[in-house]
């Protein structure tokens, strides 16, 4: 049995991110949900544990600590990159995969945020993932080895995946 990557969730726990976290928990991935006022990760962890009591979920209030514990960082539903956040995680996110996860509605807004992330966190491996709920597909772009790893995880969870055509 192989050890699965620990995945940290930062940002807002919207429906798409909540669905992804549930599927990861059901797939036995260890999760770290970084809770901040209003992002609903506390509620989400309780819901997941009600459905999957054996889920490996840790809820933390510190972005730096959450990212330090993770192999993969998923930034959910962020339309703008908070420079305070990038400063907090810069050191501990070094050489890790950061997935900028958004829905198709937020895709246009996210282009500038992706550029900011690349400038603020130059030593991460990045993946942009856009979720299309109508066909349960996630389209991705980013660094090839990181995209391949994330694509394999998403495929194991039952998502269809494809390459995101970028305009940036």
Cβ count within 10 A of residue 145: 10
Residue 118: band (very low, low, confident or very high) from pLDDT cuts 50, 70, 90: confident
**Beta-strand relationship, 137-142 and 160-163:** parallel
- Could you say which of 3.90.79.10, 3.40.50.2300, 3.40.50.300, 3.40.50.720 is the CATH number of the domain covering 7-163? 3.40.50.720
Q: What is the residue-averaged pLDDT of the chain?
A: 87
Does residue 161 or residue 40 have the better pLDDT?
Answer: 161
Which of these, 134, 126, 120, lies nearest to 150 by C-alpha position? Answer: 126
Does residue 98 or residue 15 have the better pLDDT?
Answer: 98
Q: What is the mean pLDDT of residues 25-30?
A: 96
Per-domain residue ranges for the chain?
Answer: 7-163
Judge whether residue 134 has pLDDT over 70. yes
pTM comes to: 0.91
Residue 167: band (very low, low, confident or very high) from pLDDT cuts 50, 70, 90: very low
Residue 168: band (very low, low, confident or very high) from pLDDT cuts 50, 70, 90: very low
Q: Which helix (H) or strand (E) holds 80?
A: none
pLDDT for position 106: 65
Express each pLDDT in 51-101 by its tens digit.
999 999 999 989 999 999 999 999 987 655 677 888 889 999 999 999 999
Residues with Cβ within 8 Å of residue 105, at least 6 apart in sequence: none
């Amino acid at each position: 049995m192989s050890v699965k990557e620990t995945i940290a969730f930062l940002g807002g726990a919207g429906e798409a991110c909540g669905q992804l976290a549930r599927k990861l928990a059901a797939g036995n991935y260890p999760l770290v949900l970084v809770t901040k006022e209003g992002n609903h990760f506390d509620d989400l962890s309780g819901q997941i544990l009600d459905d999957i009591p054996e889920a490996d979920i840790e809820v933390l209030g510190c972005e730096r600590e959450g990212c330090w514990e993770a192999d993969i960082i998923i930034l959910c539903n962020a339309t703008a990159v908070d420079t305070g956040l990038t400063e907090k995680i810069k050191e501990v996110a070094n050489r890790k995969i950061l997935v900028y996860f958004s829905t198709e509605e937020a895709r246009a807004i996210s282009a500038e945020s992706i550029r900011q992330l690349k400038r603020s966190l130059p030593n991460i491996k990045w993946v942009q993932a856009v979720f299309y709920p109508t066909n349960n597909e996630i389209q991705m772009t980013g660094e090839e080895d990181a995209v391949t790893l994330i694509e394999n995880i998403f495929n194991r969870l039952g998502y269809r995946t494809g390459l995101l055509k970028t305009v940036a």
